[in-house]
C-alpha cells in the first residue's frame, strides 16, 4: 500500500496510541477519533487529523483501523447509525484490531460486503510493550486478497502476522491466545504466592524458575512488575474479563467446556470486586497477597 493513502484510526488508548504513531512515522496521513480527545493529544501534535466520530473518520479514509475496548463499542462504531460501515468510502478496507466476538466479526464482514467494502478482523497480542515496539502478534480473519492489501500496514505494527481463515478466524485465534494467557496468569501468581508463603524471596524464586520449563512471557514480563508493586495497566483487568466472557460464550456455542478458564475468570472476578479492574492483569498477584 502506498503511504499516500489516508488511514483512519479509531481508539487511541494504551495500545492504539502507539499503533497510530507508527503509521504517522511511516508517512501516512492519519485521521483519528477517540472518545476522550485528551488521550489523542500527542498524536494530534505529531500531525494526526482529528474527527468528531468514527463515521467521520471513515468518510475520509482509504483504510479504517479500530482498536476499541469492548464488543459493544465495536458494534456501535461499525454498525450503528452514522457509523463506519454506513459512511466509509466505496472500496475502503475496514480492519478491526479489537479483541471481540467471532460472530460480530462475521456480521461486520457481511455488512461491509453489502456496501462494497472489504473487512478483516485482526486482533493482536503483545500488550503495551508490543504496541510500543511494533512487534505485535496479529491474527487475521478475512479474504486473502484483503489480507495482502493490508499486510504493509500490519508490518508496521507487528512481527508475527498470520491469516487464519475466513471472517471471524482472527477472533477465534485470539480467543485461543486469551485462554492460554488467562490460565497462565493463574499459574505464575500461584507459584510466587506459594513461594512467598513458604518464606522464600519471590523475586529470587522468579529468577530461578523463569528461565526453565515454567517460563512464559507473562512470568518474564508481568511478574517483575507485580513483585515491585507496579499494577499499572499494560492490559486491563476489565479487558481480560471481557475476553474470558467472550471465550466462554464462544466455547459454549461450540459445545466445549473450559474448566480451567472458568476458574481463572472466577479469580479475576474477585480482583474486580476489590476495585482493581482498571489495574493491569498482574493485579491477580495482588489478590493472592491479600489472602
Would you give per-residue pLDDT tens digits along the chain (291 residues)? 457 899 999 999 989 999 999 999 999 999 999 999 999 999 999 999 999 999 999 999 999 999 998 999 999 999 999 999 999 999 999 999 999 999 999 999 999 999 999 999 999 998 888 999 999 999 999 999 999 999 999 999 999 999 999 999 999 999 999 999 999 999 999 999 999 999 999 999 999 999 999 999 999 999 999 999 999 998 899 999 999 999 999 999 999 999 999 999 999 999 999 999 999 999 999 999 998
Residue limits of CATH 3.40.50.720 in the chain: 6-166
The x, y and z cell numbers of residue 253, run together, are: 456455542
Distance CA 57, CA 102 (A): 24
Given the C-alpha cell 494467557, which residue does it identify? 181
Query: Looking at residue 2, what is its pLDDT?
Result: 52
What is residue 234's predicted lDDT score, i.e. its pLDDT? 84
d(CA 156, CA 171): 21
Q: pLDDT value at position 162?
A: 98
Task: Tell the residue number behind the cell numbers 485482526, with chain if given.
Answer: 122
pLDDT in the model for residue 128:
85
- 172-289 topology per CATH: 1.10.1040
CATH 1.10.1040.10 domain locations along the chain: 172-289
- Supply the pLDDT for residue 150: 98
Is the CATH code 3.40.50.720 the one for domain 6-166?
A: yes
Q: Which helix (H) or strand (E) covers residue 23, if one does?
A: helix 16-25
pTM of the model: 0.91
The grid cell for 267 is 479469580
Count Cβ atoms below 10 Å from residue 114 Cβ, excluding itself.
Answer: 9
197 given a catalytic annotation: no
Measured distance CA(216)–CA(207) in Å, rounded = 12
Q: Using CA of residue 238, residue 239, residue 245, residue 248, what is the dihedral sign?
A: negative
| Among 87, 174, 238, 242, the one annotated catalytic | 174
Amino acid at each position: 500500500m502506498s503511504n499516500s493513502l489516508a488511514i483512519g484510526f479509531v481508539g487511541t488508548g494504551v495500545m492504539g496510541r502507539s499503533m497510530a504513531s507508527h503509521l504517522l512515522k511511516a508517512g501516512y496521513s492519519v485521521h483519528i477519533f477517540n472518545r476522550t480527545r485528551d488521550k489523542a493529544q500527542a498524536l494530534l501534535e505529531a500531525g494526526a487529523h482529528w474527527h468528531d466520530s468514527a463515521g467521520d473518520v471513515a468518510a475520509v479514509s482509504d483504510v479504517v483501523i479500530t482498536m476499541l475496548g469492548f464488543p459493544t463499542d465495536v458494534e456501535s462504531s461499525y454498525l450503528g447509525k452514522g457509523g463506519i460501515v454506513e459512511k466509509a468510502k466505496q472500496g475502503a478496507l475496514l480492519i478491526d484490531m479489537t479483541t471481540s466476538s467471532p460472530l460480530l466479526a462475521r456480521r461486520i464482514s457481511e455488512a461491509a460486503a453489502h456496501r462494497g467494502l472489504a473487512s478483516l478482523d485482526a486482533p493482536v497480542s503483545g500488550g503495551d510493550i508490543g504496541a510500543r515496539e511494533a512487534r505485535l502478534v496479529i491474527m487475521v480473519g478475512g479474504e486473502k486478497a484483503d489480507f495482502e492489501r493490508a499486510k504493509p500496514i500490519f508490518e508496521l505494527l507487528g512481527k508475527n502476522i498470520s491469516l487464519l481463515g475466513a471472517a471471524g478466524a482472527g477472533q477465534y485465534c485470539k480467543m485461543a491466545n486469551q485462554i492460554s494467557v488467562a490460565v497462565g496468569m493463574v499459574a505464575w501468581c500461584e507459584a510466587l504466592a506459594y513461594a512467598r508463603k513458604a518464606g522464600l524471596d519471590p523475586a529470587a524464586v522468579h529468577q530461578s524458575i523463569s528461565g526453565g520449563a515454567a517460563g512464559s512471557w507473562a512470568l518474564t514480563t508481568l511478574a517483575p512488575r507485580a513483585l515491585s508493586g507496579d499494577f499499572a495497566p499494560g492490559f486491563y483487568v476489565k479487558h481480560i474479563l471481557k475476553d474470558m466472557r467472550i471465550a466462554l460464550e464462544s466455547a459454549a456455542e461450540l459445545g466445549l467446556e473450559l474448566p480451567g478458564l472458568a476458574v481463572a475468570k472466577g479469580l479475576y472476578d474477585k480482583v474486580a470486586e476489590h476495585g482493581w479492574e482498571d489495574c493491569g492483569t498482574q493485579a491477580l498477584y495482588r489478590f493472592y497477597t491479600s489472602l
